[in-house]
A and B are shown apart, each in its own frame.
Chain A
Amino acid sequence: MTELDGANAHSWNNRIGALVEHNPACGLRDNTKDHRHVTHKADYDADDRFELFLLDDGQQKIEHKEETRVPNTAIFTFNKEDHTLGNLLSQRLLKYEYIVFAAYKVPHPLFATFELRVSTDGTITPKDAIIKCCRDVVQDLGVLKNSFTTEWLGKKIVSEGEAERIARENNTY
Protein backbone atom coordinates (compact mmCIF):
# COMPACT_ATOMS: atom_id res chain seq x y z
CA MET A 1 0.00 0.00 0.00
CA THR A 2 1.40 3.33 -0.93
CA GLU A 3 0.86 6.43 1.11
CA LEU A 4 -1.58 7.67 -1.46
CA ASP A 5 -3.85 4.70 -1.21
CA GLY A 6 -3.77 4.84 2.56
CA ALA A 7 -4.66 8.51 2.71
CA ASN A 8 -7.68 8.12 0.50
CA ALA A 9 -8.83 4.72 1.59
CA HIS A 10 -11.75 6.07 3.60
CA SER A 11 -13.73 7.35 0.66
CA TRP A 12 -14.45 5.81 -2.69
CA ASN A 13 -15.02 9.18 -4.29
CA ASN A 14 -11.69 10.53 -3.23
CA ARG A 15 -10.00 7.42 -4.32
CA ILE A 16 -11.41 7.57 -7.78
CA GLY A 17 -10.46 11.22 -7.97
CA ALA A 18 -6.92 10.35 -6.95
CA LEU A 19 -6.72 7.60 -9.49
CA VAL A 20 -7.72 9.96 -12.24
CA GLU A 21 -5.40 12.65 -11.00
CA HIS A 22 -2.40 10.38 -10.72
CA ASN A 23 -2.94 8.56 -13.94
CA PRO A 24 -1.11 10.51 -16.62
CA ALA A 25 -3.11 8.85 -19.36
CA CYS A 26 -6.33 10.13 -17.94
CA GLY A 27 -5.80 13.79 -17.10
CA LEU A 28 -7.62 15.83 -14.49
CA ARG A 29 -11.06 15.84 -13.03
CA ASP A 30 -12.25 19.26 -12.05
CA ASN A 31 -13.81 19.12 -8.62
CA THR A 32 -15.26 22.60 -8.97
CA LYS A 33 -17.50 21.57 -11.83
CA ASP A 34 -19.35 18.72 -10.24
CA HIS A 35 -16.62 16.27 -11.29
CA ARG A 36 -17.78 16.54 -14.85
CA HIS A 37 -14.95 18.30 -16.60
CA VAL A 38 -12.54 15.53 -17.38
CA THR A 39 -9.58 15.46 -19.73
CA HIS A 40 -8.73 12.18 -21.34
CA LYS A 41 -6.05 11.00 -23.59
CA ALA A 42 -8.19 9.50 -26.31
CA ASP A 43 -7.36 5.85 -25.93
CA TYR A 44 -4.06 5.17 -24.26
CA ASP A 45 -3.47 2.00 -22.43
CA ALA A 46 0.25 2.54 -22.18
CA ASP A 47 1.96 5.89 -21.95
CA ASP A 48 5.38 6.79 -23.26
CA ARG A 49 4.95 4.82 -26.40
CA PHE A 50 6.93 7.50 -28.17
CA GLU A 51 9.92 5.78 -26.57
CA LEU A 52 9.74 3.56 -29.63
CA PHE A 53 11.01 6.31 -31.87
CA LEU A 54 12.24 9.26 -29.81
CA LEU A 55 15.82 9.18 -28.64
CA ASP A 56 16.31 9.44 -24.89
CA ASP A 57 18.17 12.43 -23.48
CA GLY A 58 21.74 12.37 -24.67
CA GLN A 59 21.28 9.17 -26.58
CA GLN A 60 23.13 8.71 -29.84
CA LYS A 61 21.27 7.46 -32.90
CA ILE A 62 24.09 5.11 -33.80
CA GLU A 63 26.74 3.69 -31.52
CA HIS A 64 29.78 2.35 -33.28
CA LYS A 65 31.99 -0.36 -31.80
CA GLU A 66 34.98 -1.97 -33.47
CA GLU A 67 35.23 -5.73 -33.15
CA THR A 68 38.77 -6.44 -32.03
CA ARG A 69 38.79 -10.20 -32.49
CA VAL A 70 37.94 -10.16 -36.19
CA PRO A 71 39.55 -7.83 -38.74
CA ASN A 72 37.55 -5.19 -40.61
CA THR A 73 34.51 -5.74 -38.47
CA ALA A 74 32.31 -3.37 -36.53
CA ILE A 75 29.06 -3.53 -34.62
CA PHE A 76 26.68 -0.61 -34.98
CA THR A 77 23.92 -0.21 -32.43
CA PHE A 78 21.01 1.73 -33.88
CA ASN A 79 18.82 3.28 -31.21
CA LYS A 80 15.10 3.80 -31.71
CA GLU A 81 15.07 1.84 -34.94
CA ASP A 82 13.55 -1.50 -35.79
CA HIS A 83 13.40 -4.15 -38.51
CA THR A 84 12.45 -1.53 -41.08
CA LEU A 85 16.01 -0.30 -41.12
CA GLY A 86 17.77 -3.38 -39.76
CA ASN A 87 16.58 -5.80 -42.38
CA LEU A 88 16.96 -3.24 -45.15
CA LEU A 89 20.59 -2.51 -44.34
CA SER A 90 21.74 -6.01 -43.51
CA GLN A 91 20.18 -7.58 -46.59
CA ARG A 92 21.24 -4.83 -48.90
CA LEU A 93 24.84 -4.91 -47.65
CA LEU A 94 25.12 -8.57 -48.56
CA LYS A 95 24.79 -7.66 -52.23
CA TYR A 96 28.12 -5.87 -52.34
CA GLU A 97 31.10 -8.06 -53.14
CA TYR A 98 33.35 -6.43 -50.54
CA ILE A 99 31.02 -7.41 -47.71
CA VAL A 100 32.11 -10.59 -45.96
CA PHE A 101 29.39 -10.61 -43.33
CA ALA A 102 26.35 -8.51 -42.52
CA ALA A 103 23.54 -9.33 -40.13
CA TYR A 104 21.42 -7.67 -37.50
CA LYS A 105 19.71 -8.68 -34.31
CA VAL A 106 17.20 -7.13 -31.97
CA PRO A 107 18.60 -7.96 -28.52
CA HIS A 108 15.23 -7.68 -26.81
CA PRO A 109 11.84 -7.15 -28.42
CA LEU A 110 10.73 -4.63 -25.81
CA PHE A 111 13.61 -2.25 -26.50
CA ALA A 112 13.58 -0.29 -29.72
CA THR A 113 17.12 -0.99 -30.80
CA PHE A 114 19.06 -3.27 -33.10
CA GLU A 115 22.68 -4.26 -33.60
CA LEU A 116 24.15 -4.47 -37.07
CA ARG A 117 27.38 -6.39 -37.47
CA VAL A 118 29.35 -5.76 -40.64
CA SER A 119 32.58 -7.35 -41.87
CA THR A 120 34.31 -6.26 -45.03
CA ASP A 121 37.25 -7.61 -47.00
CA GLY A 122 39.37 -4.63 -46.05
CA THR A 123 38.99 -2.53 -49.19
CA ILE A 124 36.43 -0.36 -47.40
CA THR A 125 35.62 0.27 -43.76
CA PRO A 126 32.33 -1.09 -42.43
CA LYS A 127 31.16 2.45 -41.79
CA ASP A 128 31.80 3.59 -45.34
CA ALA A 129 30.11 0.44 -46.61
CA ILE A 130 26.96 1.38 -44.73
CA ILE A 131 27.10 4.94 -45.99
CA LYS A 132 27.46 3.72 -49.56
CA CYS A 133 24.63 1.27 -49.06
CA CYS A 134 22.32 3.95 -47.67
CA ARG A 135 23.04 6.22 -50.59
CA ASP A 136 22.27 3.53 -53.10
CA VAL A 137 18.96 2.77 -51.43
CA VAL A 138 18.08 6.47 -51.33
CA GLN A 139 18.81 6.63 -55.04
CA ASP A 140 16.70 3.57 -55.79
CA LEU A 141 13.84 5.05 -53.83
CA GLY A 142 14.19 8.25 -55.80
CA VAL A 143 13.82 6.33 -59.06
CA LEU A 144 10.84 4.49 -57.62
CA LYS A 145 9.18 7.73 -56.54
CA ASN A 146 9.70 9.27 -59.95
CA SER A 147 8.23 6.30 -61.75
CA PHE A 148 5.37 6.04 -59.28
CA THR A 149 4.24 9.65 -59.62
CA THR A 150 4.38 9.54 -63.43
CA GLU A 151 2.45 6.31 -63.65
CA TRP A 152 -0.07 7.42 -61.02
CA LEU A 153 -0.90 10.57 -62.95
CA GLY A 154 -1.28 8.60 -66.17
CA LYS A 155 -3.49 5.95 -64.64
CA LYS A 156 -5.58 8.49 -62.76
CA ILE A 157 -6.33 10.42 -65.94
CA VAL A 158 -7.24 7.24 -67.79
CA SER A 159 -9.50 5.89 -65.05
CA GLU A 160 -11.22 9.23 -64.51
CA GLY A 161 -11.88 9.49 -68.24
CA GLU A 162 -13.26 5.98 -68.20
CA ALA A 163 -15.57 6.75 -65.27
CA GLU A 164 -16.82 9.85 -67.04
CA ARG A 165 -17.49 7.91 -70.22
CA ILE A 166 -19.46 5.26 -68.32
CA ALA A 167 -21.45 7.96 -66.53
CA ARG A 168 -22.26 9.58 -69.85
CA GLU A 169 -23.36 6.32 -71.40
CA ASN A 170 -25.58 5.58 -68.44
CA ASN A 171 -27.24 8.95 -68.76
CA THR A 172 -28.28 8.33 -72.34
CA TYR A 173 -30.42 5.40 -71.35
Chain B
Amino acid sequence: MDYDPEGGAINVRFLQADNQRANFIVQNFNLETANSLRRVMLAEIPTLAIDVVEVLDNTSVLADEFVCHRLGLVPLSSRGVGELLYSRDCDCDGYCDQCSVVLTLNAKCTGSEIMKVYARDLVIESNRPNDEVGRPVITDAEGTGSCIVKLRRGQAIHMRCIAKKGIAKEHAKWAPSAAIGFEYDPANKLHHLDYWHEEDPEKEWPKDEERINLDGGPANPDEPFNYEAIPNRFFFDVETVGGLDPDQIVVQGIETLQTKLASVIHELQGSSGGPDGMDLGGAQSPTMNGGAYGAADGGYTTPGYGGASAWGGAGAAQGGTTPYGATPYGGQGQGW
Protein backbone atom coordinates (compact mmCIF):
# COMPACT_ATOMS: atom_id res chain seq x y z
CA MET B 1 0.00 0.00 0.00
CA ASP B 2 1.13 3.51 -0.62
CA TYR B 3 1.62 4.31 3.05
CA ASP B 4 3.93 1.41 3.64
CA PRO B 5 7.58 2.07 2.82
CA GLU B 6 8.42 -1.63 2.89
CA GLY B 7 5.60 -2.43 0.53
CA GLY B 8 4.84 -5.78 2.15
CA ALA B 9 1.38 -7.17 2.49
CA ILE B 10 -0.46 -7.10 5.80
CA ASN B 11 0.10 -10.39 7.55
CA VAL B 12 -0.30 -12.09 10.90
CA ARG B 13 2.16 -14.28 12.75
CA PHE B 14 1.16 -16.25 15.82
CA LEU B 15 3.22 -16.69 18.94
CA GLN B 16 0.58 -18.51 20.94
CA ALA B 17 -2.90 -19.79 20.17
CA ASP B 18 -5.07 -21.73 22.57
CA ASN B 19 -8.50 -21.59 24.18
CA GLN B 20 -7.57 -18.69 26.39
CA ARG B 21 -5.39 -16.36 24.42
CA ALA B 22 -4.32 -15.31 21.01
CA ASN B 23 -0.83 -13.84 21.04
CA PHE B 24 0.10 -12.59 17.61
CA ILE B 25 2.04 -10.05 15.61
CA VAL B 26 0.47 -7.99 12.85
CA GLN B 27 3.05 -6.90 10.31
CA ASN B 28 2.96 -4.14 7.71
CA PHE B 29 0.02 -2.57 9.47
CA ASN B 30 -0.48 0.99 10.68
CA LEU B 31 -0.78 2.39 14.15
CA GLU B 32 -4.16 4.06 13.88
CA THR B 33 -5.95 1.00 12.53
CA ALA B 34 -4.23 -1.30 15.00
CA ASN B 35 -5.24 0.95 17.87
CA SER B 36 -8.81 1.23 16.63
CA LEU B 37 -8.98 -2.54 16.45
CA ARG B 38 -7.75 -2.73 20.03
CA ARG B 39 -10.36 -0.26 21.18
CA VAL B 40 -13.15 -2.05 19.34
CA MET B 41 -12.15 -5.41 20.82
CA LEU B 42 -12.23 -3.86 24.28
CA ALA B 43 -15.51 -2.04 24.11
CA GLU B 44 -17.74 -2.78 21.15
CA ILE B 45 -18.15 -6.52 20.71
CA PRO B 46 -21.59 -7.75 21.73
CA THR B 47 -21.67 -10.34 24.51
CA LEU B 48 -24.18 -11.60 27.04
CA ALA B 49 -24.34 -10.65 30.73
CA ILE B 50 -26.92 -10.64 33.49
CA ASP B 51 -28.61 -7.27 33.38
CA VAL B 52 -31.77 -7.44 35.49
CA VAL B 53 -32.27 -9.52 38.60
CA GLU B 54 -35.54 -10.29 40.33
CA VAL B 55 -34.87 -11.01 43.95
CA LEU B 56 -37.39 -13.54 45.22
CA ASP B 57 -35.59 -14.40 48.40
CA ASN B 58 -32.32 -13.36 49.91
CA THR B 59 -31.51 -14.15 53.51
CA SER B 60 -27.78 -14.31 52.94
CA VAL B 61 -25.47 -11.83 54.62
CA LEU B 62 -24.97 -9.92 51.39
CA ALA B 63 -27.39 -7.16 50.43
CA ASP B 64 -29.58 -7.62 47.35
CA GLU B 65 -27.72 -5.12 45.23
CA PHE B 66 -24.41 -6.58 46.30
CA VAL B 67 -25.40 -10.03 45.05
CA CYS B 68 -26.91 -8.53 41.91
CA HIS B 69 -23.68 -6.76 41.13
CA ARG B 70 -21.79 -10.01 41.51
CA LEU B 71 -24.26 -11.80 39.27
CA GLY B 72 -23.82 -9.17 36.60
CA LEU B 73 -20.11 -9.86 36.47
CA VAL B 74 -20.45 -13.64 36.10
CA PRO B 75 -19.15 -14.51 32.62
CA LEU B 76 -21.71 -16.21 30.41
CA SER B 77 -21.01 -17.93 27.13
CA SER B 78 -21.57 -15.55 24.26
CA ARG B 79 -21.08 -18.02 21.43
CA GLY B 80 -24.08 -17.40 19.23
CA VAL B 81 -25.24 -14.11 20.78
CA GLY B 82 -25.71 -13.02 17.20
CA GLU B 83 -28.99 -14.92 17.29
CA LEU B 84 -30.26 -12.75 20.12
CA LEU B 85 -31.69 -9.29 19.57
CA TYR B 86 -30.77 -6.31 21.63
CA SER B 87 -33.52 -5.98 24.19
CA ARG B 88 -34.11 -2.37 23.20
CA ASP B 89 -34.71 -3.39 19.58
CA CYS B 90 -37.11 -6.16 20.50
CA ASP B 91 -40.86 -5.76 20.23
CA CYS B 92 -41.57 -7.37 23.57
CA ASP B 93 -42.27 -5.61 26.86
CA GLY B 94 -39.27 -6.04 29.09
CA TYR B 95 -37.72 -9.24 27.85
CA CYS B 96 -38.52 -12.39 25.90
CA ASP B 97 -36.80 -15.45 24.47
CA GLN B 98 -35.63 -13.52 21.45
CA CYS B 99 -33.71 -10.92 23.38
CA SER B 100 -32.73 -12.52 26.68
CA VAL B 101 -31.70 -15.64 28.50
CA VAL B 102 -33.25 -16.27 31.92
CA LEU B 103 -31.21 -18.02 34.59
CA THR B 104 -32.34 -18.85 38.09
CA LEU B 105 -30.27 -19.21 41.18
CA ASN B 106 -31.99 -21.11 43.95
CA ALA B 107 -30.07 -22.38 46.93
CA LYS B 108 -30.74 -23.02 50.58
CA CYS B 109 -28.31 -24.16 53.21
CA THR B 110 -29.73 -26.90 55.41
CA GLY B 111 -26.58 -28.52 56.77
CA SER B 112 -24.27 -27.23 59.42
CA GLU B 113 -21.44 -26.59 56.97
CA ILE B 114 -21.11 -23.24 55.23
CA MET B 115 -22.46 -23.64 51.73
CA LYS B 116 -20.94 -21.90 48.74
CA VAL B 117 -23.13 -20.95 45.82
CA TYR B 118 -21.24 -21.03 42.53
CA ALA B 119 -21.80 -19.90 38.97
CA ARG B 120 -22.52 -23.52 38.04
CA ASP B 121 -25.69 -23.27 40.15
CA LEU B 122 -27.21 -20.82 37.69
CA VAL B 123 -29.86 -22.81 35.84
CA ILE B 124 -31.02 -21.72 32.42
CA GLU B 125 -34.79 -21.53 32.22
CA SER B 126 -35.67 -19.96 28.91
CA ASN B 127 -35.67 -21.32 25.39
CA ARG B 128 -32.42 -20.26 23.85
CA PRO B 129 -31.74 -19.84 20.15
CA ASN B 130 -28.82 -22.26 20.52
CA ASP B 131 -27.41 -24.56 23.16
CA GLU B 132 -24.34 -22.56 23.88
CA VAL B 133 -25.43 -19.00 24.57
CA GLY B 134 -25.99 -18.10 28.22
CA ARG B 135 -24.21 -21.07 29.75
CA PRO B 136 -22.09 -19.89 32.71
CA VAL B 137 -18.42 -20.03 31.83
CA ILE B 138 -16.63 -22.64 33.89
CA THR B 139 -12.92 -23.09 33.32
CA ASP B 140 -11.57 -24.13 36.71
CA ALA B 141 -10.50 -27.69 37.48
CA GLU B 142 -13.27 -28.28 40.01
CA GLY B 143 -15.92 -27.23 37.53
CA THR B 144 -17.62 -24.81 39.88
CA GLY B 145 -17.14 -21.42 38.28
CA SER B 146 -16.86 -18.33 40.41
CA CYS B 147 -18.32 -18.20 43.92
CA ILE B 148 -21.34 -15.89 44.21
CA VAL B 149 -22.32 -16.10 47.92
CA LYS B 150 -21.75 -18.23 50.98
CA LEU B 151 -24.75 -19.40 53.01
CA ARG B 152 -24.99 -20.45 56.64
CA ARG B 153 -27.55 -22.93 57.94
CA GLY B 154 -31.06 -21.65 57.32
CA GLN B 155 -30.04 -18.98 54.83
CA ALA B 156 -31.40 -19.08 51.32
CA ILE B 157 -31.11 -17.25 48.06
CA HIS B 158 -33.54 -17.31 45.17
CA MET B 159 -33.05 -15.02 42.23
CA ARG B 160 -34.24 -14.79 38.68
CA CYS B 161 -31.56 -13.34 36.43
CA ILE B 162 -32.31 -11.89 33.02
CA ALA B 163 -29.23 -11.88 30.84
CA LYS B 164 -29.20 -9.50 27.90
CA LYS B 165 -26.96 -8.68 25.01
CA GLY B 166 -24.85 -5.57 25.29
CA ILE B 167 -21.47 -4.00 24.65
CA ALA B 168 -18.75 -2.97 27.06
CA LYS B 169 -19.21 0.69 26.23
CA GLU B 170 -22.37 0.53 28.29
CA HIS B 171 -20.92 -1.54 31.08
CA ALA B 172 -17.64 -3.40 31.52
CA LYS B 173 -19.47 -6.63 32.37
CA TRP B 174 -20.05 -7.02 28.63
CA ALA B 175 -16.34 -6.96 27.83
CA PRO B 176 -15.31 -10.11 25.93
CA SER B 177 -11.63 -9.82 26.77
CA ALA B 178 -9.98 -9.97 30.16
CA ALA B 179 -6.98 -8.10 28.84
CA ILE B 180 -5.53 -7.03 25.54
CA GLY B 181 -1.79 -6.62 25.34
CA PHE B 182 -0.77 -4.09 22.74
CA GLU B 183 2.76 -3.03 21.94
CA TYR B 184 4.92 -1.78 19.12
CA ASP B 185 8.58 -0.93 18.79
CA PRO B 186 9.81 -2.72 21.96
CA ALA B 187 13.34 -1.40 21.40
CA ASN B 188 12.05 2.19 21.31
CA LYS B 189 13.80 2.82 18.03
CA LEU B 190 11.18 5.38 17.10
CA HIS B 191 11.74 7.34 20.32
CA HIS B 192 8.02 7.43 21.04
CA LEU B 193 9.00 6.84 24.66
CA ASP B 194 11.23 9.05 26.71
CA TYR B 195 12.51 6.84 29.50
CA TRP B 196 12.98 8.48 32.87
CA HIS B 197 16.50 7.79 34.13
CA GLU B 198 19.11 8.80 36.67
CA GLU B 199 22.24 8.20 34.62
CA ASP B 200 21.66 5.85 31.74
CA PRO B 201 18.27 4.48 30.65
CA GLU B 202 20.06 1.60 28.88
CA LYS B 203 21.25 0.27 32.22
CA GLU B 204 18.28 1.14 34.38
CA TRP B 205 15.36 -0.19 32.34
CA PRO B 206 14.63 -3.88 31.74
CA LYS B 207 14.55 -5.09 28.16
CA ASP B 208 12.34 -7.67 26.53
CA GLU B 209 15.06 -9.30 24.41
CA GLU B 210 12.67 -11.79 22.84
CA ARG B 211 10.31 -9.12 21.62
CA ILE B 212 13.14 -6.90 20.47
CA ASN B 213 14.53 -9.74 18.38
CA LEU B 214 11.10 -10.33 16.89
CA ASP B 215 11.04 -6.66 15.98
CA GLY B 216 14.33 -6.56 14.08
CA GLY B 217 16.83 -6.37 16.92
CA PRO B 218 18.03 -3.45 19.01
CA ALA B 219 18.83 -0.05 17.53
CA ASN B 220 22.20 0.33 15.86
CA PRO B 221 23.97 3.12 17.77
CA ASP B 222 26.07 4.04 14.71
CA GLU B 223 23.07 4.83 12.56
CA PRO B 224 21.56 8.30 12.69
CA PHE B 225 18.02 8.52 14.04
CA ASN B 226 15.49 7.92 11.31
CA TYR B 227 12.86 10.53 11.99
CA GLU B 228 10.70 9.32 9.12
CA ALA B 229 10.30 5.81 10.44
CA ILE B 230 6.77 4.75 11.41
CA PRO B 231 5.61 1.75 13.42
CA ASN B 232 4.51 -1.17 11.28
CA ARG B 233 4.69 -4.22 13.52
CA PHE B 234 2.21 -4.66 16.36
CA PHE B 235 2.14 -7.20 19.16
CA PHE B 236 -1.34 -8.18 20.28
CA ASP B 237 -2.14 -10.47 23.19
CA VAL B 238 -5.88 -11.04 23.43
CA GLU B 239 -7.02 -12.95 26.48
CA THR B 240 -10.64 -14.02 26.71
CA VAL B 241 -12.91 -14.00 29.73
CA GLY B 242 -14.31 -17.27 28.44
CA GLY B 243 -17.51 -16.16 26.77
CA LEU B 244 -15.99 -15.98 23.31
CA ASP B 245 -12.99 -17.78 21.82
CA PRO B 246 -9.99 -15.49 21.50
CA ASP B 247 -9.96 -15.73 17.73
CA GLN B 248 -13.63 -14.82 17.63
CA ILE B 249 -12.90 -11.69 19.64
CA VAL B 250 -10.40 -10.61 17.02
CA VAL B 251 -12.53 -11.59 14.04
CA GLN B 252 -15.60 -9.90 15.46
CA GLY B 253 -13.52 -6.88 16.35
CA ILE B 254 -12.44 -6.58 12.74
CA GLU B 255 -15.99 -7.07 11.52
CA THR B 256 -17.37 -4.52 13.97
CA LEU B 257 -14.84 -1.97 12.82
CA GLN B 258 -15.63 -2.72 9.19
CA THR B 259 -19.32 -2.28 9.90
CA LYS B 260 -18.62 1.02 11.59
CA LEU B 261 -16.68 2.25 8.57
CA ALA B 262 -19.31 0.94 6.19
CA SER B 263 -21.93 2.94 8.06
CA VAL B 264 -19.81 6.05 7.58
CA ILE B 265 -19.52 5.35 3.86
CA HIS B 266 -23.23 4.76 3.63
CA GLU B 267 -24.08 7.86 5.61
CA LEU B 268 -21.84 10.11 3.53
CA GLN B 269 -23.08 8.74 0.25
CA GLY B 270 -26.68 8.94 1.40
CA SER B 271 -26.36 12.58 2.37
CA SER B 272 -25.36 13.51 -1.18
CA GLY B 273 -28.59 11.98 -2.38
CA GLY B 274 -26.76 11.34 -5.61
CA PRO B 275 -27.65 8.42 -7.80
CA ASP B 276 -24.01 7.50 -8.14
CA GLY B 277 -24.93 4.02 -6.96
CA MET B 278 -21.44 3.32 -5.84
CA ASP B 279 -21.54 -0.18 -4.54
CA LEU B 280 -19.43 -1.57 -1.83
CA GLY B 281 -18.26 -4.39 -3.99
CA GLY B 282 -15.13 -2.49 -4.80
CA ALA B 283 -14.02 -2.25 -1.24
CA GLN B 284 -14.50 -5.82 -0.25
CA SER B 285 -11.91 -8.42 0.26
CA PRO B 286 -12.48 -11.86 -1.16
CA THR B 287 -12.78 -13.28 2.31
CA MET B 288 -15.79 -11.33 3.26
CA ASN B 289 -18.41 -13.78 2.26
CA GLY B 290 -17.61 -16.03 5.14
CA GLY B 291 -14.26 -17.66 4.98
CA ALA B 292 -13.46 -20.67 7.05
CA TYR B 293 -14.99 -18.97 10.02
CA GLY B 294 -18.48 -18.36 8.75
CA ALA B 295 -20.00 -21.03 10.91
CA ALA B 296 -21.15 -18.98 13.85
CA ASP B 297 -21.93 -15.83 11.97
CA GLY B 298 -23.51 -15.54 8.59
CA GLY B 299 -21.51 -12.54 7.54
CA TYR B 300 -22.61 -9.19 8.81
CA THR B 301 -25.30 -8.45 11.24
CA THR B 302 -26.38 -4.97 12.00
CA PRO B 303 -24.57 -3.45 14.88
CA GLY B 304 -27.85 -3.61 16.70
CA TYR B 305 -27.19 -0.74 19.02
CA GLY B 306 -28.81 2.04 17.19
CA GLY B 307 -30.71 -0.65 15.42
CA ALA B 308 -31.54 -0.25 11.83
CA SER B 309 -32.52 3.29 12.56
CA ALA B 310 -28.93 4.43 12.43
CA TRP B 311 -29.12 3.95 8.71
CA GLY B 312 -32.47 5.54 8.29
CA GLY B 313 -35.12 3.00 8.92
CA ALA B 314 -35.69 -0.28 7.14
CA GLY B 315 -36.84 -1.92 10.34
CA ALA B 316 -35.74 -5.32 9.23
CA ALA B 317 -34.26 -6.10 12.58
CA GLN B 318 -37.61 -5.64 14.22
CA GLY B 319 -40.59 -7.87 14.19
CA GLY B 320 -39.13 -10.91 15.78
CA THR B 321 -37.10 -11.92 12.81
CA THR B 322 -33.50 -12.87 13.24
CA PRO B 323 -31.05 -10.03 13.31
CA TYR B 324 -29.53 -11.37 10.12
CA GLY B 325 -30.59 -9.95 6.87
CA ALA B 326 -30.81 -6.37 7.97
CA THR B 327 -27.86 -4.87 6.24
CA PRO B 328 -26.81 -1.33 6.80
CA TYR B 329 -25.72 -0.95 3.21
CA GLY B 330 -28.56 0.31 1.17
CA GLY B 331 -30.23 -2.26 -0.94
CA GLN B 332 -27.68 -4.98 -0.76
CA GLY B 333 -29.54 -7.77 0.88
CA GLN B 334 -26.77 -10.23 1.26
CA GLY B 335 -23.09 -10.26 1.20
CA TRP B 336 -20.72 -9.03 3.73
A residues whose Cβ falls under 8 Å from a Cβ of B: 26-27, 36-44, 49-50, 52-55, 60-62, 64, 78, 80-81, 83-85, 87-89, 91-92, 95, 127, 130-131, 134-156, 159
Does B189 touch A at the CB level, under 8 Å?
A: no
- Cβ–Cβ contact A149 & B10, under 8 A: no
- A58 nearest CB across to chain B (Å): 10
C-alpha spacing A84/B147, complex, angstroms = 35
Q: Which residues of A contact B56 (CB under 8 A)?
A: 36-37
**Interchain CB contact (< 8 A) of B251 among A42, A49, A149:** A149
Dominant secondary structure of chain A at its interface with chain B: helix
Identify the 3 closest CB pairs spanning chains A and B, nearest first. Answer: A142-B285, A42-B72, A135-B283
A91-B32, A138-B283, A143-B9 known; A40 vs B39 contact (CB < 8 Å)? no
A42-B161, A88-B33, A144-B12 known; A152+B285 contact, CB < 8 A: no
Across the interface, do B254 and A135 meet the contact criterion of CB distance under 8 Å? no
* 13 pairs from A and B in contact (CB 8 Å cutoff): A49-B171, A61-B264, A61-B267, A62-B264, A81-B260, A92-B30, A138-B261, A138-B283, A140-B1, A141-B261, A146-B285, A149-B293, A155-B14
Q: A42-B51, A50-B305, A135-B283 are in contact. Are A145 and B267 (CB under 8 A)?
A: no
Question: Contacts of A91 on B, CB cut-off 8 Å?
Answer: 30-32
Also in contact, A52 and B291, with CB within 8 A (given A27-B52, A137-B261): no
* Distance from A77 Cβ to chain B, minimum over Cβ atoms (Å): 12
Chain A residues near B14 (CB-CB < 8 A): 151-152, 154-155
Question: Could you tell me the distance in whole angstroms from the C-beta of A141 to the nearest C-beta in chain B?
Answer: 5
Which A-chain residue is minimally distant from B164 (CB atoms)?
A42
The answer to whether A87 touches B32, judged by C-beta atoms less than 8 angstroms apart, is yes
Q: How far is the CA of A130 from the CA of B263 in the complex (A)?
A: 12
Contacts of A141 in B (CB 8 A): 33, 37, 254, 257-258, 261
| Chain A residues, CB < 8 A from B268 | 62, 64, 127, 130-131
State in angstroms the CA–CA spacing of A156 and B151 once bound together: 42
**Count of B interface residues, CB-CB < 8 Å:** 85
Please, which residues of chain A bring their CB within 8 A of the CB of B22? Answer: 152
B112 within 8 A of A: no
Query: CB-CB < 8 A to B255: which residues of A?
Result: 145
With contact pairs A149-B293, A159-B17 given, residues A40 and B44 touching in the complex (Cβ less than 8 Å):
no
A62 touches B54 (CB 8 A): no
Partner of A153 from the list B13, B43, B50, B292 (CB cut-off 8 Å) is: B292
Chain A hits for B12, CB < 8 A? 144, 147-148, 150-152
Q: Would you give the 0/1 interface string for B14-28, flagging 1 where the beta carbon is closer than 8 Å to chain A?
A: 101110001010100
Chain B residue contacts of A43, Cβ below 8 A: 65, 68-69, 72-73, 171, 173
B269 near A131: Cβ-Cβ < 8 Å: yes
Please judge, given known A-B contacts A36-B55, A95-B2, A142-B287, whether A84 and B36 are in contact too, CB under 8 Å: yes
Q: In whole Å, how far is B146's beta carbon from the nearest beta carbon of chain A?
A: 14
A residues near B88, Cβ cutoff 8 Å: 50, 54
User: Which residue, of B2, B35, B39, B285, has the highest number of chain A Cβ atoms within 10 A?
Assistant: B285
The proximity string for B residues 288-325 relative to A, scoring 1 for CB distances below 8 Å and 0 otherwise, is 10011100000000000110011000000000000000
